[in-house]
Homo-oligomer: A and B are copies of this chain.
Amino acid sequence: MAKLALAVHGGAGTIRRSQITAELERVYREALRNALAIGWQVLEMKGSSLEAVEAAVCSLEDFPLFNAGRGSVFTHEGRQEMDASLMEGRTLKAGAVAFVRNIKNPIRLARLVMEKTEHILLAGDGANRFAEQMGVETMPDKYFFTDERWAQFQDALSRGEVQLDHAGTQPSPETAVNATPKPIGTVGAVACDHAGNVSSATSTGGMTNKRFGRVGDTPLIGSGTYADDLCAVSCTGHGEYFMLTAAAYDVAARMRYSGLSLSEAARQTVDRLTQIGGEGGLIAVDSAGNVSMPFNSEGMYRGRVDASGELVTGIYNENI
A: residues with CB less than 8 A from B are: 91-95, 98-99, 114-127, 129-130, 133, 162, 164-165, 168-171, 175, 179, 211-216, 220-223, 226, 240, 243-244, 246, 249-250, 253-254, 256-258, 276
Q: Which residues of B contact A276 (CB under 8 A)?
A: 92
- Within 8 Å by CB of A123, from B123, B250, B254, lies B123
| Residues of the B chain whose Cβ atoms lie less than 8 Å from the Cβ of A222 | 220, 222-223, 243, 246, 249
Contact B244 A92 (CB under 8 A): yes
Stoichiometry, as copies per complex, reads 2
Check A122 against B254 for contact (C-beta < 8 Å). no
- Complex: how many Å from CA A129 to CA B165? 11
Are the C-beta atoms of A214 and B122 separated by less than 8 Å? yes
CB distance from A113 to the nearest CB of B (A): 8
> Hey, which chain B residues are within 8 Å of A213, CB to CB?
122-127
CB-contact partner of A124 in B92, B124, B240, under 8 A: B124
A98 cross-chain contacts in B, Cβ below 8 A: 123, 215
Q: Which of these, B117, B133, B221, contacts A243 with CB under 8 Å?
A: B221
Q: How far is the CA of A121 from the CA of B224 in the complex (A)?
A: 14
State in angstroms the CA–CA spacing of A250 and B91 once bound together: 19
Report A255 CB to chain B, min CB distance, Å: 9
Assess whether A215 is in contact with B122, with CB atoms less than 8 Å apart.
Answer: yes
Query: Cα distance A243–B258 when bound, in Å?
Result: 22
What secondary structure prevails in chain A residues at the interface with B?
mixed
Given contacts A226-B246, A244-B120, A246-B221, contact A133 B165 (CB under 8 A): yes
B164→A116 contact, CB < 8 A:
yes
Closest chain B CB from A302 CB (angstroms): 24
| A133 CB contacts on chain B under 8 angstroms | 165
Interface centre among A91, A116, A254, by most chain B C-beta atoms within 10 angstroms, is A116
Judging by beta carbons under 8 Å apart, are B246 and A164 in contact?
no
Considering only CB atoms, which chain B residue lies closest to A220 in the complex? B220
A282 CA / B213 CA spacing, docked (Å): 28
The minimal Cβ–Cβ distance linking A172 to chain B, given in whole angstroms, is 8
Q: When the two chains form the complex, which single residue of B117, B175, B240 contacts A120, counting CB atoms closer than 8 Å?
A: B240
Q: A117-B164, A118-B169, A220-B222 are in contact. List 19 more A-B contacts (CB 8 A).
A: A92-B244, A94-B170, A94-B244, A98-B215, A115-B170, A117-B169, A118-B170, A119-B212, A120-B243, A122-B164, A122-B213, A123-B123, A129-B211, A220-B220, A221-B223, A221-B243, A226-B246, A249-B250, A250-B253
A119/B214 in contact, CB under 8 A: yes
A95 to B164, CA, bound (A): 13
A249 proximity list for chain B (CB < 8 A): 222, 246, 249-250, 253
